[in-house]
Structure 1
């Protein structure tokens, strides 16, 4: 009998940071990965090299960088078509790509330009990329899924979805909207045996937080995160891998915090 197809996972924003951690964990799990990147091909190639080094079956697994700006409708269409053309299938989508405001500004001074840019990238992009991938899966004849537990969509949001930061109002609103997008798609796709899960990272050690490291180091030192450390791309990658491998089969629509206990209610 022929070998079963290798699952293909499309990960947006996979050239560095959380996306790279996700891609490497998926490679370790035996998947092929479409490594979406916006502009840094060298970084995407570095992710591909790390994935190849981690892959248990490098002869069968493939790791392909695919350039696309998910805030652009044309780029989203091309991202889907190029992934299918190069890898032949998509078995899961990880909506990870996101940006922070270029300037942290009090909400009395923040600009509409920044707001619009973040909404297009952090919310509109993943919402309609999900639509494109789901529509592909729901066509007749429907493609067969290479994942034993069925097609999956994962949203990587942020504790900012429900934790207000007045110097990043646009970011918080974009992530709150993304959390609702995950709920909407979970309800719509559950009857189709397509699982949708939201992962909600907390304070993560990435390029995005490097400019405010001192602030968050002090935040940790003050005891605000019970596990008392920064989160890592590997932490998020391991959570994505658990969902992809079908370890939460009855949890569509679940919101899973990856924040070291930051959002726990306590006295």
Structure 2
């Protein structure tokens, strides 16, 4: 799916961002924030919908070009093609936002965790994210840019906070923390910033099924800020990392959770 302006020649150089899972929730908030900040945006989802056309139009009203690309993050063999599609369309690739991810297939006792659920979650959240980041980083190293470069992974407070009923999910996010530090060290001298954002309880379609449960727990003080997070809390927080304002903090992780993960007595 393409927009009418995607064949136009750019009048000025604009940074290009790739946002995985950018059709809804946190990903959509990131797409619109980056578009407003001067990025052209390629965003992925596993399947197209009318929503993709609406997002492209919304980005265009913000002065950005946008493109939807069908992609399954768990299919590592498709990553190089995805990078080539973005570069061919956008003319470069300056910011990768690893936002796409999946939850555990079935919540339950850790002793009942299945290899099917573990492989599914790790295959997308860790394996897919790792090797897409690798493909993007290789391209960045081979193709200098006038723009700041960054790789930003939207992880979770579950990188630190344990939920035994979805241990595979927590493990995948904890591993992303080490991936971030590893990539940050590897690319520090190349001025490619690598960061991790850890959202807490965010009001999205993924949390809608448990909203009643968390409404009560938040009201009872689970989240010190006494509110749900919203996708734009993440979108706004990401911008300094994407544009280079936080370049010297490469390797850092930030909790975006209203105080949820702060140790308390």
Q: Does 1:124 align with 2:154?
A: no
1:176 paired residue number: 174
Structure 1 segments unaligned to the other structure (5+ residues) = none
Asked if structure 2 preserves the Cα contact closer than 8 Å seen for 1:15 and 1:45, the reply is no
Q: Does 1:23 align with 2:28?
A: no
1:144 paired residue number: 145
2:3 paired residue number: none
Q: CA deviation at 1:4?
A: 3.8
Asked if structure 2 preserves the Cα contact closer than 8 Å seen for 1:16 and 1:47, the reply is no
CA distance in 2, matches of 1:262, 1:49: 36
1:35 paired residue number: 43
Say if 1:261 and 1:83 are closer, same or farther in 2 by CA, change over 3 A: same
CA distance in 1, matches of 2:76, 2:178: 21
Which structure carries more helix by proportion? 2
2:6 paired residue number: none
1:99 paired residue number: 102
With normalisation by structure 2, the TM-score equals: 0.92
1:48 paired residue number: 56
Asked if structure 1 preserves the Cα contact closer than 8 Å seen for 2:219 and 2:227, the reply is no
CA distance in 2, matches of 1:46, 1:17: 14
Q: CA deviation at 1:246?
A: 2.2
With normalisation by structure 1, the TM-score equals: 0.92
CA distance in 1, matches of 2:49, 2:185: 36
Q: Which runs of 4+ in 1 moved over 6 A?
A: none
Q: CA deviation at 1:3?
A: 5.1
Q: CA deviation at 1:176?
A: 0.7
CA distance in 2, matches of 1:42, 1:16: 12
RMSD over aligned CA atoms reads 1.4
State how many pairs are aligned.
256
Asked if structure 1 preserves the Cα contact closer than 8 Å seen for 2:126 and 2:175, the reply is yes
- CA shift digits 1:180-220 (9 cap, x unpaired): 11111011110111111111100001111111111111220
CA distance in 1, matches of 2:264, 2:104: 30
1:68 paired residue number: 71
Q: Does 1:115 align with 2:118?
A: yes
2:153 partner SS: strand
CA distance in 1, matches of 2:172, 2:18: 21
Q: CA deviation at 1:102?
A: 3.0
CA distance in 2, matches of 1:43, 1:182: 31
1:243 paired residue number: 241
